[in-house]
Amino acid sequence: MYLFDNNKWLPGTYHLSEGDIIVAGETNGLYNGMGSTKLGYQMRNVNNITISGTSSYSLNGMLSLGGEIYNDGSITVNGTSNFNNIGMLVSNAGGIGINASLITVNNNQIGMYGTSGTTISNQNGAININSGIGMITRGANAQAINYNGINVGSNSTGMVSYEGAVATNKSEVTLKGSSSIGMSAISSGNAINDGFISASNSQYGMFASDGSTIKNTNTLNAINGGIGAYVDNNSNKSTFENASNSTIDVYSGGIGVYLAGNGYAVNNGFMSLTDGIGIYAYNNSEAINKSQITANQGSTAMVAREASRIINEATITLAGTSSIGMYADKTSTAINSGKITLSDSGQIGMYATGNSTLTTTISSNISVSMGTGILVSGPGGATNSGVISVTNSGNGMYIKNSGTITNDGQIYVNDSNTNAMGSSGNQTILVNATNGVITIEDSVSNSHAFNMNGGVAQNSGVLNLGTTGIAATGGTIYNWGIINGIATSNNYYVPENYELVMEKGGNIGGAKLQEAIIGLSYAQALFTKNDTDGFLLNLSVKADNFVSHSYLYDIYTENGDSYIKRKRFTELTNSSIGEYLENIYNLENEESKIKMYSALRSIRSQAEFDKDLDLFFGRDFYPTVIFQTRDSINFTTNNILDNLETRYNTDKDNSYIVGYSLERTKQKNLSNQIGFDEYLNGFYLGKQYTLNENSNYGFLFSYTRLDSDYNSNRGKRKDNFFQETSFLNYAKDNIKGIGVLYFGYAQGNLKRNLNVSFLENNGTSIEYVSLDESFNSDIKNLYVGTSGKISKEYKFDTFFVEPEMKGYLMGVFQKEIKEAGGEYAINLDNMNKVFSTIKIGTSIGKIFYPKDNYKLTLKLKGGVGQDINSANENLNLKLKNLSNETTDIKVDRKNQFYKEVGTRIDLSKDTIKDELTLYVEYKYIFEDKNSWKTSAGFIYTF
């Protein structure tokens, strides 16, 4: 039916067409079934319109160019090109499209489409979307309204709004297929659900992208992994609002609102969760709760991840086990200025992981009956400025692993077996700040202000312990504040199960200590002139005796007055490093020095002091490197001594030699040396010449690869040794001997790690500080040496005994080491060393002949060794970024004696032309700390 006739409108404003219309484009020349009406005209379909053609143009069942089109029949939209064909198109401002019957959408086509200034509505009809979009509204002042039912199939969308248009659902949009969407707002579009939408599995109830707004004013459901409202990631922020008196219900793994990136959501209505998530803010998104969220069992009210922020300004109620109020992860933030209520086991009011931060404002109120009000799994932190009330074995605030949590508000402990603040982890800090007050109700039992399993606590505020409260268990309290209600015996207070350090201004009421530990806030600042002289203390605590918390300071009493002074570093170590530390104790290169000296002043014992010197100056590291170089050279030499002593072939004037050895060493820490896990791979190739029936000589060229990891992540070494060896071999009447002369060159890379963690006291607070640096350096060595071995075999009926003696002498000439890569890099010289060793041992063995030309030898070995005149000259050292002053470190392993036991298995095949031997060996070495070696390899002569 056409309404244009000779370019004029037909008379009348109402036109009725009966019968089927098939719009097939080029196939039948029909591109629009009914339409081209102008303002004031209505076109009604009371029968069937089918769009089924293939066309390069959009095919439309009904078209309005300003008038009204009304479907009271059936429109079926088919097509082959995506989103090309439209059931009802309203194109000009003022146009209206109404579906009062049935529109069926197939093949990714469109049911209804309205442009700027138009209205499309699904009133008493239905839109069934098998594949495609039900309604699209696009442009300013355009709107789409659903008053009845829209059924959405897989990969399809019920309603879409673009570019300022508004889509409103006032009935129900039913999602029936996977990856289906109820309502979508794109490119500054607007979508309002004023009806009912339920999403499950991969479905979205509502979707927003590219600066759009979606709003729920009625009911959204998310079940079985579905998402009620999804806000897509886009640089143009999109938003979602759950309006006042509206509801979002979440079940079985569903998510009420998901912000995928740079999104914003606000809840002004009600959210009820059962085993699901209320609002999930991801990737720099923000969500605010301004009304009510109830999280039942296994649910989380609000989640923030990847630098996102969630805020609760109203009420979150946890009503089931293992539920969480607010969860922040991966550098995100959660802020509570409203109320969170906990009432069951396993509940967490606010929870942070992944270096995230939790904050409560002064208006915050967290009520804990079982569970934990604020929990941080560090690194990360939390600050409470509001009120936390704890009963029924709950925890007010708790931190695990590392980080700091701070109470700057009020925590009330109103029940037994309940804790205000708790921790687990060696680098955790509990802080009751200047405005913080922790109050434990009278007569409760076994309740603590600080319950520490590792870590420390700082009190700068007030602890009111009541009549039976306990200040702490485990760990240390650094007290700048007030502790009221401490239980005393004969007016003395003895801290039990924790250490109490008294800082400047801190007091414990009228109680007196038998021994008061005085903190660093009483000490003079670093680099204070004459701080090794006594400084008068004005103490705020009474005690019979006073001791310094820091090992670097002494406290003494004269004429009833107490004084504090710094120990000279020469008192703490008899090495030249003590004098060096004293000489550079000034403000030059202040920043680097402050870190190092702050670490040293935090130590508690001589052992800790020595450990820090080892870390900063490499006192145990570089002696290890020197002796490791010696042992790596001996590895190649031992392979020659042990594997070439019986290589004869008198039928040939000369033979070639090929060999390979692999050795793994597990060395424990020794005095002045660190342990390591080491692999040595050695290849050698050479030739031997026969002198006579008792002796031969030869030459070998070898390459050895050293790979080593030092204990406690102290560093790594990779080195390459290139060596030329000449040898002379002798054997007669069960007596065997071999001597070698060698020289070589080694070049590699050395990495030393400095990892120092300490608790810094800045005078008013404490914090953990870590110095983490890695230094790289090149190592180059020239070396020359000689070694020998002599043994005699005694044969018995079923076994043999073979005593032996070995000797080593070598000189190693090492180039200066210059570290690079950090503030505390070291320069070392005076690295040239001479080593000599004598070893005496014996073997007990048995030989088997499994078949012709094969020989299996089993040995049990034992021996002792003595280092003679080994390296003991000090290494010259300079911390080049701190000072031009030099010091030295000892290489102290003179006359080291050790014992070893082991076993070796050799399997040989010997013919007239050649000989092949495979072997494995194990050694256990007894020194100050025991170590072991395993090795395997082969040698082939031909």
User: Average pLDDT, whole number, for the chain?
Assistant: 92
Q: Which of 455, 500, 466 is nearest to 481 (CA)?
A: 500
Assess whether the previous peptide bond of 803 is cis (omega < 30° from 0). Answer: no
Select from 2.40.128.130, 2.70.40.10, 3.40.640.10, 2.60.40.740 the CATH code of 618-759+786-808+834-870+892-941: 2.40.128.130
Asked if residue 748 has pLDDT above 70, the reply is yes
Q: Report pLDDT digits (tens) over 342-391.
A: 999 999 999 999 999 999 999 999 999 999 999 999 899 999 999 999 99
Q: State how far the Cα of 916 lies from the Cα of 938, in Å rounded to an integer.
A: 7
Q: Exposed, middle or buried: residue 892 (CB in 10 Å: 0-12, 13-18, 19+)?
A: middle
Higher pLDDT, 18 or 721: 721
- In DSSP notation, 391-407 reads ETT-EEEEEEEEEEEEE
Q: State how far the Cα of 713 lies from the Cα of 666, in Å rounded to an integer.
A: 15
Q: Report pLDDT digits (tens) over 450-489.
A: 999 989 999 999 999 999 999 999 999 999 999 998 877 7
Per-residue confidence band for 27, with pLDDT thresholds at 50, 70 and 90: low
Per-residue confidence band for 942, with pLDDT thresholds at 50, 70 and 90: confident
Contact 423, 394 (CB under 8 A): no
Q: Which of 65, 17, 60 is nearest to 40 (CA)?
A: 65
Q: State how far the Cα of 469 lies from the Cα of 485, in Å rounded to an integer.
A: 8
- pLDDT value for 526: 92
Asked if residue 639 has pLDDT above 70, the reply is yes
Enter the DSSP assignment of 578: H
For range 70-95, the mean pLDDT: 92
Phi, psi of 631 (to 5 degrees): -70, -30
Q: State how far the Cα of 676 lies from the Cα of 713, in Å rounded to an integer.
A: 10
- pLDDT value for 13: 41
Asked if residue 85 has pLDDT above 60, the reply is yes
For range 403-415, the mean pLDDT: 98
- pLDDT value for 14: 45
For range 263-277, the mean pLDDT: 98
- pLDDT value for 894: 59
Q: 489-510 burial string, b = 16+ CB within 10 Å, else e? A: eeeebebeebebbbbbbbbbee
Per-residue confidence band for 890, with pLDDT thresholds at 50, 70 and 90: confident
- pLDDT value for 30: 60
Poorest-confidence range of 67-71, 121-125, 897-901?
897-901
Reduced to 3 states (helix: H, G, I; strand: E, B; else coil), residue 571 is helix
Q: Token digits for 536? A: 């008068």
Give 552-558's long-range contacts (Cβ < 8 A, gap of 24+): 552/600, 552/601, 552/603, 552/609, 553/520, 553/523, 553/601, 555/518, 558/534
For range 316-337, the mean pLDDT: 98
Percent of the residues in the chain that have a pLDDT greater than 70, as a whole number: 94
Q: Token digits for 201? A: 């599995």
Per-residue confidence band for 15, with pLDDT thresholds at 50, 70 and 90: very low
Asked if residue 540 has pLDDT above 50, the reply is yes
CA angle, 651 as apex, 645 and 652 as ends, to 5°? Answer: 75
Task: Evaluate the CA torsion angle 744, 745, 748, 750 in order and state its sign.
Answer: positive
- pLDDT value for 6: 38
- pLDDT value for 9: 42
For range 842-852, the mean pLDDT: 92
Q: Report pLDDT digits (tens) over 618-631.
A: 999 999 999 999 99
Poorest-confidence range of 77-81, 153-157, 432-436?
77-81
- pLDDT value for 19: 59
Q: Report pLDDT digits (tens) over 897-938.
A: 889 999 999 999 887 677 899 999 999 988 767 888 999 999
Percent of the residues in the chain that have a pLDDT greater than 90, as a whole number: 79
Task: Look at the block and give the residue holding tokens 């406290």.
Answer: 555
Per-residue confidence band for 509, with pLDDT thresholds at 50, 70 and 90: confident
Higher pLDDT, 302 or 576: 302
Q: Name the E strands within 48-189.
A: 48-51, 60-64, 68-71, 74-77, 86-90, 96-99, 102-105, 109-114, 119-122, 126-129, 132-138, 143-146, 149-152, 157-162, 166-169, 172-175, 181-186
Asked if residue 640 has pLDDT above 80, the reply is yes
> Checking DSSP bridges between strand 300-305 and strand 270-274, what pairing results, if any?
unpaired
Contact 516, 492 (CB under 8 A): no
- pLDDT value for 928: 67
For range 668-682, the mean pLDDT: 88
Q: Name beta bridge partners: 198.
A: 174, 221
For range 147-167, the mean pLDDT: 98
Q: Which of 736, 715, 743 is nearest to 809 (CA)?
A: 743
Per-residue confidence band for 7, with pLDDT thresholds at 50, 70 and 90: very low
Q: Which amino acid is at 766?
A: I
Per-residue confidence band for 41, with pLDDT thresholds at 50, 70 and 90: confident
Structural domain spans, the chain = 1-180, 195-310, 618-759+786-808+834-870+892-941
Q: Which of 576, 582, 539, 579 is nearest to 557 (CA)?
A: 539
> Checking DSSP bridges between strand 695-710 and strand 715-732, what pairing results, if any?
antiparallel
Poorest-confidence range of 106-120, 886-900, 902-916?
886-900
Asked if residue 17 has pLDDT above 90, the reply is no
Q: Report pLDDT digits (tens) over 595-616.
A: 999 999 999 999 999 999 999 9
Per-residue confidence band for 510, with pLDDT thresholds at 50, 70 and 90: confident
The answer, as to whether pTM is greater than 0.95, is no
Task: Evaluate the CA torsion angle 152, 157, 160, 166 in order and state its sign.
Answer: positive
Q: State how far the Cα of 501 lies from the Cα of 215, in Å rounded to an integer.
A: 56
Contact 287, 268 (CB under 8 A): no
